[in-house]
Structure 1
């Protein structure tokens, strides 16, 4: 979805952001950097843009009050796109704002990079893009170099691994009225304090396109099967796996999603269908994320969701049964003599 084969780095500003709660301050550079070294420019583009080749989700800027102009990052990005001469000045404003929202004591200090790229491709179109990146993780590296009749060895501490971008966003100069197209990376978002990047700094909402509609329905259905069904029906784990497999089969074979068709083909039970539709409706209301009853299916979203769909039946610590097809070929029973459950599996030949 995102490619940087034709991209070029036009301007770069670097600042340092401390942790506000720890009384660490920010340090602003006085001017942007002119990069003349082609190798360095290529390394920076790989560091900043490389991770986005595997990103499919596209977001938009928003503000709780509904006024996009109140979103600080949107405001500064708009100013840069309209007048490139104010790039560095607005990069400083972005640094100050990020510092203001870096109030949790566990947020790491680090360098903030604001970059302007030309000709970055998203969804088959070339656009200029503003990149905002933060490096928080530092590593040590060994250096080996020729010395006299052998080799010398040294090291460098607090260096940055260009294959590990901690946090970043790309703002594409398109769809301005809707909040631009925004792609996000957050490799350190593993706990509550880390949500400041997407929620407090950027203030984003998911773009309601086919990728996100497909991912949302598959996610809602998976949670419905694994978490909700037990509350209303008696259902075995094998039957749950079968329901998940049937839903994945539907999405892989169909080009478009239709709620009624999906419900009848995959669930096939009136009470279960009603329960699923109510569960979907409650999700939409709770997260303010409407999902249409019909849309084109995104193959990329199906592929991504397939990784988290489980088709494994785990039996104590002795056996795992992988169920990929007809659930009628597996039967569950109870052995009175051994006081243990068992599964009987039918097959034609071993492979």
Structure 2
């Protein structure tokens, strides 16, 4: 998140949350942290807020009714009953403890914080933050020892990397607020307790998420389903990925019919893509519209994972940026090896 220099960290408290299946305890702190040191406030604010993507919006949900989402209720209480901050933070810690039963869930510190003047679009709002630190790093510390200097080691938190976080903006209360989330550890599907079990959030069906999900769908189809089902060479797979990326970079709006005709272009492949899309939506529990505005921030994020490198053994890496017609693949029977011909006008 950018523009956080003037954010005011109002209150923060730390609790220790273990994994009950390993006999690890839940340790509730009776008092909030003392925030007299300005530098510590600034470092905490950077640590808490620096890793969020402000374009990626979620909201609280529940299979029965929004009012039954526990974290939603705790956040609402923190916005409306600030004097009971410590009590509500303890309830959040207790609820997280009940959801930390997977074998891969690590013990860590849970921080609950309230903020003022958090940037949100063109406005500044109040926000509630819930953060968990699971990963410790070893640091070397130099200290005086008589007339000499000695060195020792300590374990601490890297303030540049937040393990897990949730920032709840005081906006859209009736729809489950507007929430941004960080989950940088235990990303396997079976350990996503932070998003699915604890927070119970789902993305807003806005332009950012539509663009992000569709480009993720394209990448999976072109790298997994397409080459396996149609037995095409790697160069054809890269060509399709490049054309789909160009489509999102050059168009203002997405249109499924237009995309299918301009990028995929083969009826059999289009049918397979549509079937894959239906299965993808079902597995993600998210419907992707056939028409939506393309969000440039989502394109920029996803473009990093669209690899256009053709790796040939350990000897050559060929970057393919376009013009698949200038690339020819063959097999040399005398050498017993595959080959590629590259046609070009000048050598840079």
1:214 corresponding residue in structure 2:
211
Q: For 1:168 and 1:287, how far apart are their aligned partners in 2? A: 21
TM-score by length of 1: 0.92
1:11 corresponding residue in structure 2:
11
Change (3 A) 1:340 1:156: closer
Q: Which moved more, 1:100-109 or 1:184-193?
A: 184-193
Change (3 A) 1:219 1:349: same
Q: 1:98: how far off?
A: 0.9
Q: Which moved more, 1:23-32 or 1:210-219?
A: 23-32
Could you tell me whether the CA contact under 8 Å between 1:226 and 1:240 is conserved in 2?
A: yes
Q: For 1:220 and 1:191, how far apart are their aligned partners in 2? A: 18
Q: For 1:33 and 1:286, how far apart are their aligned partners in 2? A: 42
TM-score by length of 2: 0.93
* 1:274-330 deviations in Å (ceiling 9; x for gaps): 332232233223432111111111111111111111211122222222110101101
TM-align CA RMSD: 2.0
Change (3 A) 1:212 1:2: farther
Change (3 A) 1:25 1:148: closer
Q: For 2:231 and 2:93, how far apart are their aligned partners in 1? A: 55
Q: 1:35: how far off?
A: 1.2
Corresponding residue SS for 2:11: strand
**Paired residues, number:** 348
* 1:17-71 deviations in Å (ceiling 9; x for gaps): 122112222111222234122111111111111222x554221111122x11111
Choose from 297, 301, 305 the match for 2:298: 301
1:26 corresponding residue in structure 2:
26
Choose from 221, 225, 237 the match for 2:222: 225
Corresponding residue SS for 1:120: strand
1:181 corresponding residue in structure 2:
178
Q: For 1:176 and 1:73, how far apart are their aligned partners in 2? A: 13
2:271 corresponding residue in structure 1:
274
Choose from 243, 246, 260 the match for 1:246: 243
Could you tell me whether the CA contact under 8 Å between 2:59 and 2:177 is conserved in 1?
A: yes
